[in-house]
Amino acid sequence: MIFLEEYSQLTCRDCGRIQESCCFKTTVPLSLEDVKQIESLGYRAEDFAEVLEYGEDELDGLENWERESLVEFCGKCYTLVFKHANDDNCIFLKKGRGCVLGEHRALACKIYPFWRRDSEIMFLDDFEESMKDVCMIRRNGAKVDEALKCICETRENIKEYHDRIIKAFTSEKLEYASVVKKILESKNPSPA
């Protein structure tokens, strides 16, 4: 399988190196696969990941698999996301270097700014609102097909990759829940 591996080296990494990119203020969900991959580089989950709590109203807007991927504790729903540095960039975005994770960045980072809803490929909603004028993949207001062509990708590959994301976020739930719990507890240690 090809895709979504090399283009960021050429486009997204350059983008993050030279301008304010989508790695600024973006909430990037992390699967267990992402956490394990990044930990294999020597980072600790509690140093790069934090827990995001979903409010009741936010749950309504999620797809079924997204709801299924959340971890429930005491009636609340959580997922893991990347921490941000003090300048609001993702903790792995380094000034002048771009994303230091490179090909090890999260699954959601690799598919960005594309997404699939039902069988349609589209730009993600938050991208449409905030990044459409600066994204180097979508230069000059390119539509989905032009943007895909710019990175030598196809709608079929994006669909396949999206399936991989769903699988990563909905499998091994018990292990994922234990990581979420560990990070929740590191933030709010139980009284001795």
Concatenate the DSSP letters of all residues of 96-134 into one string.
TTEETTGGGS-HHHHHTTEEEETTEEEE-HHHHHHTTTT
Helical H runs in the chain? 7-10, 12-18, 32-39, 45-48, 56-59, 64-69, 107-111, 125-130, 144-150, 155-170, 173-187
Question: Hey, which residues between 111 and 150 contact ligand SF4 (CB under 6 A)?
Answer: 112-113, 131, 135-137
81 lines the binding site for ligand SF4 (CB under 6 A): no
Closer Cβ to ligand SF4, 42 or 189, answer by number: 42
* CA 114 from centre of chain: 11
> Pattern of binders to ligand SF4 over 25-54, x per CB under 6 A?
-x-x--------------------------
> d(Cα 116, Cα 124) in Å, to the nearest integer?
8
- 90, 148, 168, 180: which one binds ligand SF4 (CB under 6 A): 90
Pairing of strands 76-82, 29-30: antiparallel
3-class secondary structure, 71? strand
Question: Measured from the CB of residue 75, what is the shortest distance to ligand SF4 in angstroms?
Answer: 30
105 lines the binding site for ligand SF4 (CB under 6 A): yes
161 lines the binding site for ligand SF4 (CB under 6 A): no
4 lines the binding site for ligand SF4 (CB under 6 A): no
180 lines the binding site for ligand SF4 (CB under 6 A): no
* CA 22 from centre of chain: 11
Closer Cβ to ligand SF4, 15 or 179, answer by number: 15
99 lines the binding site for ligand SF4 (CB under 6 A): yes
- 78, 92, 161, 169: which one binds ligand SF4 (CB under 6 A): 92
